[in-house]
Each structure stands twice: as C-alpha cells, then as structure tokens.
Amino acid sequence: MDTQKELRLRCWIDIDGERFFGPGRAQLLHHIDKEGSISKAAKAMGMSYKKAWSMVDDMNQKGQKPYVNLHKGGNKGGGAELTETGKMVLEFFQKLMVELNSTVKKKEKEFLDLI
C-alpha cells in the first residue's frame, strides 16, 4: 500500500513568545492592499471583521512602525492602505516563503525516502 508523504513548512515570527506574523497576516495584508478595506479583506478571507481588525491593530501596535493606515468614514466611507513598512514586510515575507519552499522542495524527496 502506497502512503502519501509530504514535507510541509510553516513560518511565523514570534514576539515575546507570542505569534505575531505569519501566512494568515500576510494574506490579510495582501487583501487590504488589493481591496483598500479591512472589511473587504476580511470578507475575501472568510474572516470576521472583528478578527481582521484585531490582527491589524496587533500588527500596528507591536511592529516597529504601523503596517496599515486607516481612513475614517465620510461620504465615500472609510478605508485602509498599507504603509511603506507594511508593504516592505509583506514583500519580504512573500519572497522569504518562496525561497524557503524552494529549498524544502529540493530536499523533500531525499528526506521523505528515509521516512
């Protein structure tokens, strides 16, 4: 009987022992950048607005600089956009994940053959 084996990589950044940034938050930043709104980003991810807002607030509070600028409502409603820091963190994380996954892929067969 053949068994299906897979080597998977997960990458998070912890601050003071608590998870701070990883794939979910990167995806949220991506959707905020694309949609210009936390509520639209949350909807695109199937996430509650409250959870998305909490994640943005956490990133803005614990990061060296805020990742997301928020615009209060008005005639056209509010919105959100990534700061330069948010854009740089997102881009770096995405590139890092490509490099890490590429390295894992190169060694996957060799390692899984030992399992």
H or E stretch at 27? helix 23-35
Nearest alpha-carbon partner for 55 in 37, 36, 68, 73: 68
Question: What pLDDT, in 10s, does the model give residues 50-109?
Answer: 999 999 999 999 999 999 999 887 666 679 999 999 999 999 999 999 999 999 998 998
93 vs 2, higher pLDDT: 93
First vs last C-alpha separation in the chain: 15
Q: Which domains does the chain have, with CATH numbers?
A: 19-99 (1.10.10.10)
Nearest alpha-carbon partner for 55 in 23, 94, 21, 83: 21
Question: What pLDDT, in 10s, does the model give residues 13-28?
Answer: 999 999 999 999 999 9
Give me the count of residues in the chain.
Answer: 115
